[in-house]
Amino acid sequence: MRIIFCLLLFFLTIKLFAQEKRDSIISITIDSIEVNASRYSLPFKETPFSIDVINSKSLSKIVNPLSLKEALNSNPGLFINNRYNLSQDDRIILRGIGTRAQFGVRGIKIFLDGIPLTMPDGQAQLNNLDINNIEKVEIVKGQSSVLYGNSLGGAILFESNLGNDKEFTIQPEISIGSFGLKKNNLKSRGKFLSTNYSIGAYAAESNGFREHSQAKFYGISFLSKTNISDNIFLSLISNYYNAPYLLNPSSLNKYDSENNPTTVRSSVRTFGTGKKVEQFQNGLNLQFILNDNSKIKSTLYGVTRSLKNSIPGRIIELERSFVGARIEFENKFDVLNNEF
């Protein structure tokens, strides 16, 4: 019996001789992803929140430059409804929040380079987001978004592409599509002394698929980061958007939508439905690194937005401005050999 037992042990373990050595195993190191949406920088795998990151590689594959749907719609829990109507923007739905928004974005906090695009009343407009100049998108889902204030559904943080230590570069882009779509985009990045900067400008127009759906808009953005010293960094953000006209063809009844989908109702022409938008925002961000574990961030920003929206029966005119400030203190410490 002992002999049989020894033979079984021998044959069961003989395959161990065929195992490869550890040195022969191929190892691949991928680029690290740093998450800032948690209000403090963390490696992506150590983030305790429900956060997703979309990098510049994925954003560079976008074909449609007028909608966020292609860039964000593959993210779990996030749905972008492209209304194909430039006067109403995309509808963003995050975990069911935002479904009932008739225009703009509600229930979700939107940030561009640290400046909130969401107005104090909870509404955000995405007109001035130039997807061609976005480098990274961070999406915060669920109750973790309470870090950003009034944002029941979550928060979406857009970061513009900033110049690096490379030489001065200019990158022109032209997009042409059906129904008279044309978009010209010009980006310039580089470094001057201790300042990295990025300047972007674009102009777009479209005739639209339907009658009375023409649109024309343009914008310019500026972003810089200056190393005042080894531990003090100053960032300046400025963004301007102007849409002389974004015509709204409105809806159709069932018969016309099936037989004459390009037409519009007579009342739409009578009232000239559509909107005119102008938005300007500025921001200043100062970061002071105290030591390896502590730093202070302070942000000062202001946004001005004017809207003239003509709809059947009335004309809506809004002039809104708001300013804000934020101060953050970040400190890392150890508790029972765990870093917090």
CATH number at residue 236: 2.170.130.10
Pairwise CA distance, residues 180 & 182, whole Å: 6
Residue 193 domain-assigned (yes or no): yes
Residue 27 domain-assigned (yes or no): no
Domain containing 121 equals: 35-339
Q: Which residues, including other chains, have CB under 8 Å from residue 75's CB and lie 6 or more apart?
A: 52, 54, 139
Do the beta carbons of residue 104 and residue 127 sit within 8 Å?
A: no
Confidence of residue 270 (pLDDT cuts 50, 70, 90): confident
Q: Are strands 42-43 and 34-35 parallel, antiparallel or unpaired?
A: antiparallel
Angstrom distances, CA of residue 39 to CA of 34, 155, 329? 12, 12, 10
Residue 9 domain-assigned (yes or no): no
Residue 128 domain-assigned (yes or no): yes
Which two three-digit tokens encode residue 80?
A: 């972008």
The residues facing 307 across adjacent strands are 277, 318
> For residue range 184-240, what is the model confidence (pLDDT) as tens digits?
999 888 888 888 888 999 999 999 888 998 999 999 999 998 888 888 999 999 999
Q: What is the rounded end-to-end Cα distance, in angstroms, of the chain?
A: 58
Do the beta carbons of residue 160 and residue 238 sit within 8 Å?
A: no
Residue 6 domain-assigned (yes or no): no
In the chain, % helix, strand, coil (3-state, to 5) comes to 15, 45, 35
Q: Return the half-sphere exposure (C-beta side, CA atoms, 13 A cut-off) of residue 39.
A: 19
Residue 140 domain-assigned (yes or no): yes
Residue 74 domain-assigned (yes or no): yes
Count of domains forming the chain: 1
Q: Are strands 108-112 and 154-160 parallel, antiparallel or unpaired?
A: parallel
267 membership: H or E segment, kind and range: helix 266-271
Mean pLDDT of the region 27-50: 56
Pairwise CA distance, residues 291 & 276, whole Å: 48
Confidence of residue 73 (pLDDT cuts 50, 70, 90): confident
Average pLDDT value for the chain: 80
Report the percentage of the chain scoring pLDDT > 90. 16
Residue 271 domain-assigned (yes or no): yes
> For residue range 282-318, what is the model confidence (pLDDT) as tens digits?
999 999 988 888 889 899 999 898 989 888 888 888 8
Angstrom distances, CA of residue 296 to CA of 230, 271, 292, 321? 14, 52, 12, 27
Mean pLDDT of the region 124-128: 79
